[in-house]
Amino acid sequence: MKKVYLIATVIALITGLATFFIFRSVSGKKTTDEMADVVVAAEEIKENTPITADMLEVVKKPLAEAKPGFLSRIEDVEGSYAMYTIPKGEQVVRASILKPSPIGGPDQNKGKLSLELSPGEYALSVPVTLIDAVSYYPREYDYVDVYLVEKVHPNDIGQTDVNGSVYEADDMKTSLLLEGVRILRVSNYQQEDLSAANGTKITSYTEVTLRLNKEQVLKLASAMNQGTIKLALTAFGENEGETTTAPPTTAPPATEETSEAA
């Protein structure tokens, strides 16, 4: 009799274990078989390429195979830029794209300033001081005129400036370099990042970054080695709509010069 009870107990244990493993297998299979819509690259998408709808497709994948941050709709990706080259068939995830923010908006383009430049435009940073930068009143997206203050050249000695003063050997000369250029950033990326992290406002800076065309870059980069760059803030709205994508087709304005004591 004891032998019969022992056999029955063993059979019951085996049946219970079998039931447990079958249940776990079925439950696991259900999770594995759950499907999700996943956006993938329909073709290779090169780094920094603007992504259009025809570069993408939506495929069904087991949820377990979907990468963290996967996207399910093409409209969530369209209009973004590829942060790195995405091979054909690769899942497009949030970390692989960058969607431009409205100009001046929060989290402005994650620091990717190139997204705010049109073809033919360049960003150039200029060192400034409190006085050079109009007491730090100019802010992002203001427009400024740019001046160069330098020692008079030998061939300028004896000539007169616009005020009628005669240049002498120790005088300083101020020349208008550029008119109506847009400020893209004040301060630098590190300071911006710290300011955002601490929730503080940048109230002083030692550099500004300007939007220029190639001709203006060459002119300003050369001038920075000749003397001191000064900014003059222009009236709000005076330069809205101006573009720097091509050099001017007309002759540049006459150079304005003034004489300052050394």
Q: Which residues contact 220 (CB under 8 A, 6 or more apart)?
A: 124, 126, 146, 177, 178, 210, 212, 229
C-alpha–C-alpha distance, residues 220 and 178, integer Å: 8
pLDDT in tens, 61-74: 999 999 999 999 99
pLDDT over 90 for what percent of the chain? 47
Q: What is the pLDDT of residue 258?
A: 40
Domains of the chain: 36-98 (3.90.1210.10), 120-236+243-260 (no CATH)
In angstroms, what is the C-alpha Rg of the chain? 32
> Are 231 and 208 in contact, with CB atoms under 8 Å apart?
yes
CA distances from 15 to 12, 19, 24, 190, 259 (A): 5, 6, 14, 65, 103
C-alpha–C-alpha distance, residues 177 and 156, integer Å: 17
pLDDT in tens, 166-208: 878 888 888 999 999 999 999 998 888 888 888 888 999 999 9
Q: What is the pLDDT of residue 84?
A: 85
C-alpha–C-alpha distance, residues 14 and 22, integer Å: 12
